[in-house]
Amino acid sequence: MVQTPAGRLRATALTAVACVVLAVCGPRRGMAQMADVDTALIVAVDVSNSVDDQRYRLQMEGIAKALEDKAVVSAITTGPQAAILFSIVTWADRSEMTLPWTRISNAAEANALAARIRKLPRVRGEFTCLSHMLRWTADKIVPQIPANATRTVIDVSGDGHDDCNPAEPSDAVRDDLVTQRVTINGLPILDGDEGKTIEEWYRQHVMGGIGAFILAANGYADFERAIRQKFVVEIGGLAGPKRVKAAAAGE
């Protein structure tokens, strides 16, 4: 069959549209092949110049031990989907997905991931660019979550205020994330010059979304306790001040 010029033009146009659809939707569909999960948890860890090698390792070891904790594993495995997605973003003057999305559905997978986290190389940064990290996460990480998740949570830890003179304040980026049904929880580390003010700053400028809460660490040595208790609440989807208070008391 001989195709007319008009027919060839229509075929070319349809091919172009199909290519655009594949380019835009293809990767998202490919990533969405993972089974549904209860929580997509992004653990955002401060690696600015106040975080030396010891403090970095305390944070990584704290996250690893939390994943090995029986209460955390129970929270992972007792939800409707009995699984979560887990990732780590390290941030300072730049942000990086240090640990890509990993699905956890049992204790063996949690323990294997903990072992990987302990081997993550030291990440270095300079400034505390929290607003930039939230914007980068909103634009690059949240839209590419590779499974349907009942809730998406960003767990932000750090020991200082944003000192990068951002183009948009962290409040504005937080509010944008909240419109995307993302919850941002804070784990301020009460240490150093800003230890007395950082918790309230996180409460005012970082925390947001459904069931959002702040649970502080009393210095880096206390990070392990705080992150474990936060994971129980975040992964279990347990909102409300009474439940957070219970987690902080270790109940």
pLDDT of residue 245: 54
Q: What percent of the chain has pLDDT over 90?
A: 77
Say whether both 67 and 20 belong to one domain.
no
**Considering only CA atoms, which of 184, 195, 217 is closest in space to residue 62?**
217
Q: What span, in angstroms and rounded, lies between the C-alpha atoms of 173 and 175? A: 5
The reported pLDDT for the residue numbered 238 is 72
Does 143 share its domain with 125? yes
Q: Print pLDDT tens along the chain (251 aa).
A: 445 545 444 444 444 433 333 333 333 444 446 899 999 999 999 999 999 999 999 999 999 999 999 999 999 999 999 999 999 999 999 999 999 999 999 999 999 999 999 999 998 999 999 999 999 999 999 999 999 999 999 999 999 999 998 889 999 999 999 999 999 999 999 998 899 999 999 999 999 999 999 999 999 999 999 999 999 999 998 754 445 554 555 44
Half-sphere exposure of 10 (CA within 13 A, CB side): 5
In this predicted structure, what is the pLDDT of residue 193? 87
Residues 20 and 51 occupy one common structural domain: no
Mean pLDDT for all residues in the chain = 87
Q: What three-state secondary structure class fits 103? A: strand
Same domain, 90 and 157: yes
Structural domain for 205, as ranges: 35-248
Side chain identity at 142, as an amino acid letter? V
CATH number of the domain bearing residue 115: 3.40.50.410
One domain, residues 20 and 84:
no
Whether residue 125 sits in one domain with residue 10: no
Same domain, 113 and 65: yes
Number of domains in the chain: 2
Q: Is the pTM of this model over 0.95?
A: no
- Are 117 and 23 in the same domain? no
Give 97's Cβ-side CA count (13 Å radius): 17
